Amino acid sequence: MYSAVVMDEAHERSLNTDVLFGILKKVAQKRRDIKLIITSATMNAEKFSVFFGNAPIFTIPGRTFPVQKFFEKGPVEDYVDGAVKKAVAIHLQQPPGDILIFMTGQEDIETTCILIEEKLKTLENAPKMLILPIYSQLRSE
């Protein structure tokens, strides 16, 4: 038997998650021993609290880091190729740091990683880059 349910990223709402919240609300009303933990960095916590019978709100301060955004001046024909070119240019022209690229799915992520690695291999004396893909189907190891 479960004693707690954690719902993360509650701000990413859809019909399915809204139905699930309704079901969890009824479960919590019938099972006083169950704990619902709903998390999000950006949700309206007060609305969720009221929906769940004025449940307590805990605010946990996050960490922020300085971020610099780089954009193309105009549209690109191939967004994967454009992301590869921009990432390599940033890597070569900016001081050491991290580059975060958001892509539309696993195939684009894997292709972008491969193309960045291939591009850097063709450049003489390019600084090393650790390329780490992240997507939901990625194996844990």
Read off the pLDDT of residues 111-134 as tens digits, 9 standing for 90 and up. 999 999 999 999 999 999 999 999
Same domain, 22 and 85: no
Same domain, 44 and 74: no
Same domain, 47 and 70: no
**How many other C-beta atoms can be found within 10 angstroms of the C-beta atom of residue 87?**
22
For residue 10, give its domain range. Answer: 4-51
Same domain, 140 and 76: yes
Residues contacting 26, CB < 8 A, separation 6+: none
pLDDT at residue 141 tops 80: no
Residues contacting 69, CB < 8 A, separation 6+: none
Give residue 96's identity as a one-letter amino acid code: P
The Cα–Cα gap between 117 and 91 comes to: 12
Length of the chain: 141
Same domain, 74 and 141: yes
Same domain, 46 and 70: no
pLDDT at 38: 92
**Contact status, residue 82 vs residue 76, Cβ threshold 8 Å:** yes
Same domain, 78 and 132: yes
Going along 8-130, which residue ranges are E strands? 35-38
**59 lies in some domain:** no
The Cα–Cα gap between 95 and 48 comes to: 42
pLDDT at 33: 92
Same domain, 83 and 118: yes
Closest Cα to residue 101, out of 74, 134, 73? Answer: 134
The Cα–Cα gap between 22 and 16 comes to: 10
The domain that holds 106 is classified in CATH as 3.40.50.300
Same domain, 72 and 46: no
**88 lies in some domain:** yes
The string of pLDDT tens digits covering residues 31-86 is: 989 999 999 888 889 999 999 999 999 998 888 888 999 888 899 999 999 999 99
Give the chain's domain count: 2
